[in-house]
Structure 1
Amino acid sequence: MLRICLLILSAMILIGLPLETGFAQEAAPTAFDAEQASRAYIDTLKGAELEKSNSYFEGGYWLILWGAIVGFLVDLLILQSRLSARFRDWAERVTKRKWLQPGLYALPYSIAGFLIALPWTIYTDFFREKQYDLLDQGFGAWIGELATGFGISLIFFPLIVIAIFAVIRRAPKTWWIWGTGVVAVFLMIGMLLAPVFIAPLFNEYNEMEAGPLRDKIVAMAGENDVPSNHIYVFDQSKQHKRISANVSGFGPTIRISLNDNLLERTDPEEVAAVMGHELGHYVLGHTWRSIFIILLIMGVGLFMVARIAPRLIDRYGDKWGVHGIFDPAVIPVFGLLLTLYFFAATPALNTLIRVNESDADLFGLNVAKEPDGFAKVAMRLSEYRKIEPGPIEEMVFFDHPSGATRVRMAMQWKAANVENPVAVNPGKLEKE
């Protein structure tokens, strides 16, 4: 259940698309062939770099499985050891207020789950990232940010638990519907607060300096009715070299943000391509569409939990010390069921997200009109994303279009929209 809360918190912050670049040299004018132009980009990744990229991303396929197994076993251990029952008993000793007990229970449950899974987290998020040279932080800085994120979860998770158990008590047969509504409320609160109060806990945000590049971003935003009063640059280079940008928040907290890696590692046409993509998410309503999708998936998951959890309690409740669906000690039962559900739903969720990303790609090409900048940015993703997967592989494991798919889209757009298009020799991406 804690992992589900952290997933929701991640959705709140809405980090954008990471991307990358190099210099292009024009070749002699010839008839433009989109496939040949695409291969000129795709084939720049080869040898040890290609092997490293494929190894990192393909290893992530197994992490999906092992992550689900670890999450399942953590909740099962908390149940089998009767830690869950002890956490419930502690909450009942601290307060007699039924509405508050689930929130108190959530504190030791969260801490126990975090500590049990910590070795796995350290391996996947620190040592493995270091192994592939994708993390610039030392262990102290990394663990500090992990602790900060966990601290945030200790604020939100108990509140979510209190609200969900309130609806369980009031509507025991339809609580999963109202529980989905609870998730919706917290997503909205998170969207409102994250840009102003959460994101700055991890990075420093400063207004982008005036200049031609900012003017270009403001112009693209103005043409598409995107608020551009605030354009921030944040210092993500202290964590890693990946490039990213986003349009986050809503209402008074809407802002455009791009990280310093995007400015330092790419050329202006690539920055424009990235920002066109991010503006596309806003204009096309992808934030709201994504929230709807998350809530739909969550609703189905909670419906499944509402049907299966009582049967597990009837069979194993005495062994676990869980008294019923109203008992906060049932939370690990919810957690292990949702872990299995989200693991099974991974391909569907990836596909739904990937469709949004593809739509934003096309929007960005139409707005920025920088197909070669977009292609170079797509190639930069190859540092940590397999460049040319098979179609089934892309459908199951990719939550963004692959680099090859994006490069082909850019070159096909160029063939259709640029007068007398000229193929370029992208060479090697040089900015680091």
Structure 2
Amino acid sequence: MEHKLKLTISIFFLVLLIFISVVLISEYINMKNIRAEYPDLPEESYSLRKENLNVWALRLILQFLIPLIFLTSRLSSRIRFFVEKKSLFLTCLLYGIIFFVIIFVISLPLNYYSSFHLSHKYGLSNQTFLRWLEISLKGLLINDLLMCFFIFIPFYIIQRSPRTWWLQLSILTVPVIIFMVFISPFVIDPMFNKYTSIEDEKLGKEITVLLHKSGIEDANIYKVDKSKDTNTMNAYMTGIFHSKRIVLWDTTINNLEESEVLSITAHEIGHYVKGHIWKNIIQSSISTVLLLFLVYITSTWILKLSNGSFGIKKLYDIAALPLLLLVLNFYSFVGSPIMNYLSRDMEIEADAFEITLTQDRESAVSAMEKLYKESLGLPRPSNIFKTWYFTHPTLEERLEFYRNYPLD
């Protein structure tokens, strides 16, 4: 490995540690200010926030450190040597299975601590360990191991078109994104939870009125049994064309007044009516082109400077997967502020639609306050954390918006 590459890696991790330090300092200062402004907030909210910040910092470091270790230790090239077959499909399939299982095992303790231990410690979940393990294993099988059957495709394209693979792969990704948005409500979501139609119930009929007012009366309305996984509340609209549906967590229905549920539902309807699902598809498609071009340029540069120290000579070698993921993680991290800004802008637009549709400021305010209270959320993060990680406006911003947005 050339000195230039070693220096670049060292500088990156130094900058990353500085970034983490700045965020942690900013968050602790922010929490100190919130204590003075909101004296009635429970101590558990601050404790949970601090523990989540520790998880965030460790996860961020591991996001880059794990694939780097795969490369520098030559573990990746050793796995490829162990599974290599004459068939590219079989080689990629076997490599992918081993690679993702290793990642799963490495990540398991931190995932357990963050999604199971903390949730139970702060009363946010009644989920059993077996249920948590079931969801984790299903995630591995569906999100990772299933992908192993298709992982040969990008490497085949890289091998056939070493200079333009990034563009071909970007074009191929667009229909895949649309297909997944369409098929996910029917196939993937029911693998994790039970969905029950509530269209004939009183609440369902009230939601149907909102759908008719919005011109999307063909959307289905479902309740999902999230109470076996969490005590927090949520709702969302998913799907396109005939797969579009409103989904309410049963915790939302059980813990909010009907008018508050309708306000939250109106917000989700706003996402569809305002075309946010299609906007996200378009933004994802455009960003994928740019992202893969940068991955192509950077990964080629790193591979050249590695001078064979990774045991990899070509990008179409399946052992280059950790390298591609490392660079992909880097640019996804760098681009997060832009994508999150666009997301927050859509959320504001959906909030405006919500108030216009329901003409009910009070329910919007009380529903949002209850959502944050039940999840032990704080009214705002630090500015740097909001910029990098918040896809929604802060509680303070949303309450201010609800209270001041003009009614028709």
In structure 2, do the counterparts of structure 1 residues 61 and 289 end up closer, same or farther at CA, with 3 Å as the change threshold?
farther
1:47 matches 2:40: yes
The answer to whether the aligner puts 1:230 opposite 2:228 as a matched pair is no
Q: What amino acid sits opposite 1:295 in the alignment? A: S
Greater mean deviation of Cα atoms: 218-227 or 321-330:
218-227
**Inter-CA distance 139–262: structure 2 relative to 1 (3 Å threshold):** same
Shift of 1:378: 1.4
Secondary structure in structure 2 of the residue aligned to 1:318: coil
The structure with higher relative contact order (CA 8 Å, sep 6+) is 1
Q: Show CA shifts across 1:288-318 (max 9, x none).
A: 1112223333333222221121222223252
1:86 and 2:83 correspond: no
Please report the TM-score for the alignment, with normalisation by the length of structure 1.
0.79
Match for 1:348 among 315, 335, 338?
338
Secondary structure at the aligned position of 1:345 is classed as helix
Contact kept in structure 2, 1:99 and 1:165, CA below 8 Å: no
- Equivalent-residue separation in structure 2 for 1:153 and 1:76 (angstroms): 22
Task: Answer yes or no: is 1:202 the counterpart of 2:214.
Answer: no
Q: Does 1:302 align with 2:277?
A: no
Look up the match of 2:135: 145
Show the counterpart of 1:213: 203
1:398 aligned to 2:394? no
Conserved? CA contact 2:100–2:145, under 8 Å: no
User: Partner amino acid for 1:92?
Assistant: E
Asked if residue 255 in structure 1 is aligned to residue 245 in structure 2, the reply is yes
Identify unmatched segments of 5+ residues in structure 1.
1-42, 419-432
Report the CA distance between 1:48 and its aligned residue: 4.6
**Is the counterpart of residue 117 in structure 1 residue 107 in structure 2?**
yes
1:277 shift after superposition? 0.4
* Structure 2 residue 59 is the aligned partner of structure 1 residue 67: yes
The Cα shift of 1:330 comes to 0.3
> 2:237·2:245 contact (CA, 8 Å) conserved in 1?
yes
CA deviation profile, 1:186-226 (whole Å, cap 9, x unmatched): 32222122111111111111111524322221111112121
SS in 2 for 1:140: helix
What is the SS of the residue equivalent to 2:124? coil
CA contact (8 A) 2:225 2:249 kept: yes
Residue 393 of structure 1 deviates from its aligned partner by 5.0
Amino acid at match of 2:194: E
Change (3 A) 1:240 1:45: farther
| 1:211 to 1:45, Cα distance in 2 relative to 1, 3 A | farther
Name which of 148, 152, 160 aligns with 1:158: 148
| TM-score in terms of structure 2 length | 0.84
Deviation at 1:171, TM superposition (A): 2.1
1:317–1:324 Cα contact (<8 Å) kept: no
Alpha-carbon distance between aligned partners in 1 of 2:61 and 2:171, rounded to the nearest angstrom? 28
Q: Is the 8 A contact 1:273 1:369 kept in 2?
A: no
After superposition, give the CA deviation of every residue in 1:353-397 in whole Å (9 maximum; x if it has no partner): 111111111111111222111101111232343213455553344
**AA at the equivalent of 1:313:** L
How far residue 167 of structure 1 moved from its aligned partner, in angstroms, is 2.1
User: Residue by residue, what CA displacement relative to the aligned partner does 1:37-94 show, whole Å, maximum 9, x if unpaired?
Assistant: xxxxxx9964352x4334434654554443221121211222233221122223323x
Give 1:37's aligned residue. none
Distance 1:286 1:231, change over 3 A: same
Name which of 380, 397, 400 aligns with 1:408: 400
RMSD (CA atoms): 2.5
- SS class of match (1:417): coil
In structure 2, distance between residues paired with 1:409 and 1:249: 28
Decide which of 274, 288, 296 is 1:284's aligned counterpart: 274
Larger mean CA deviation between 267-276 and 237-246 belongs to 237-246
The CA distance in 2 between the partners of 1:333 and 1:241, in whole Å, is: 39
**Alignment partner of 1:359 is 2:352:** no
Give me the whole-angstrom Cα distance separating, in 2, the residues matched to 1:317 and 1:258: 53
* Distance change >3 Å, CA 176–CA 385, structure 1 → 2: farther
Shift of 1:258: 1.0
Q: Does residue 376 of structure 2 align to residue 387 of structure 1?
A: no
Bigger mean CA deviation after superposition, 245-254 or 322-331: 245-254
Measured in 1, the distance between the counterparts of 2:75 and 2:172 equals: 27
1:169 to 1:393, Cα distance in 2 relative to 1, 3 A: closer
Cα 1:54–1:297 shift into 2, 3 Å: farther
Match in the other structure for 2:163: 173
| Letter of the structure 2 residue corresponding to residue 56 of structure 1 | L
Distance 2:282 2:44 in 1: 36
The residue number in structure 1 matching 2:20 is: none
Tell me the SS of whatever aligns to 1:386: coil
Structure 2 vs 1, CA of residues 389 and 329 (structure 1 numbering), >3 Å: closer, same or farther?
closer
Counterpart residue type for residue 223 of structure 1:
K
For 2:37 and 2:205, the matched residues in 1 are separated by 32
Could you say what secondary structure the match of 1:326 adopts? coil
SS state at 1:218 partner: helix
Name the counterpart of 1:5. Answer: none
> Contact 2:88–2:152 at 8 Å: present in 1 too?
no
For structure 2, the 5+ residue unaligned runs are: 1-35
Q: Could you say which structure has the higher helix fraction?
A: 2
**Separation of aligned partners in 1, 2:122 and 2:333:** 25
Instruction: Check 1:192–1:159 CA distance in 2 against 1; reply closer, same or farther (3 A cut).
Output: farther
Task: Check whether the contact 2:219–2:242 (CA below 8 A) recurs between aligned residues.
Answer: no
Equivalent in the alignment of 1:425:
none
Matched position secondary structure for 2:132: helix
Partner of 1:310, secondary structure, is helix
Distance in 2 (CA, whole Å) between partners of 1:127 and 1:301 is 35
